[in-house]
Amino acid sequence: MFRLDNKTAIITGGGSGIGKAIATVFAKQGATIHILDMDEQGAKNVVTEIISEGGKASFHKCDVSKQAEVKQIVDDIAANATIDILINNAGIAHVGTAETTAEADFDKLINVNVKGVYNCLHSVIPHMKQKGGSIVNMASIASLVGIPDRFAYSMTKGAVVGMTLSAAKDYLKYNIRCNCISPARVHTPFVDGFISKNYPGKEEEMFEKLSKTQPIGRMGRPEEIGYLALYLCSNEASFITGCDYPIDGGFVKLNN
């Protein structure tokens, strides 16, 4: 069950965190992995890890906010393989309210978190229409509930959910399924960096505090998101499209 043999997967932001977990999980299940990322060293390390364990993977340096760049890479991949899976995982975070968010930061979040997803959909879907496939977009619980100081980030993740529903509806007839995943806090290097940057000297205390915001009492693990993505991209999930999956330790439904 949940095998991805003979399937080709494009994973954006696959060089670390959740993207890395998805890439390694998919590779172990037989998929050929193409990582699109700006983090050259991180992505190459993931590729090396996958290949050392008998998997197939390659890295393509790519700024997802630039459509021509995305299209060239996708077309090159499609020239040699059928694209079966797209994981739109690349994204950036931001702390701020409507008042404190600078225009430059707002524009940057739009370009990466919204336009980046659009660029990949725009480039991959024409190839995927030939044989069908599965698309998973990474949203966030920030698209479902109000989170303090996450104005621009929440806005972009709400857009991801909207794009997911639209693409699912538009491409049903081509046997393309499109879903999204909305994680709560997941323990990644990004989280560690965020805490050390914003709460110097209080890292342990803040980690504990952020962990306890999930009713289950801890942050998620990247591989747990990877397993959900695996299910959604497998043949076993062939009846699922147009859905958003919170994976949140009870955050959305159990917090009072």
Note whether residue 206 is domain-resident.
Answer: yes
Residue 2 lies in a domain: no
230: domain CATH number is: 3.40.50.720
Domain that holds residue 202: 186-219
List all residues 6 or more positions away from 153 whose beta carbon is below 8 Å from its beta carbon: 93, 94, 109, 113, 140, 142
User: In the predicted model, is pLDDT for residue 96 greater than 80?
Assistant: yes
Beta strand 83-88 with 244-247 is: unpaired
The one catalytic residue in 153, 171, 231, 245 is 153
Taking each helix axis from N to C terminus, what angle separates 189-198 and 203-211, rounded to the nearest 10 degrees? 130
Q: 96 and 191, same structural domain? A: no
pTM of the model: 0.96
Say if residue 132 is in the same domain as residue 228: yes
- pLDDT (tens digit per residue) in 22-66: 999 999 999 999 999 999 999 999 999 999 999 999 999 999 999
Tell me if 3 is assigned to some domain: no
Mean pLDDT across the chain, nearest whole number? 97
Q: Is 174 a catalytic residue?
A: no
Q: What is the pLDDT of residue 102?
A: 98
- What amino acid occupies position 77? I
1 occurs within a structural domain: no
CA proximity to 244, closest of 147, 94, 129, 135: 135
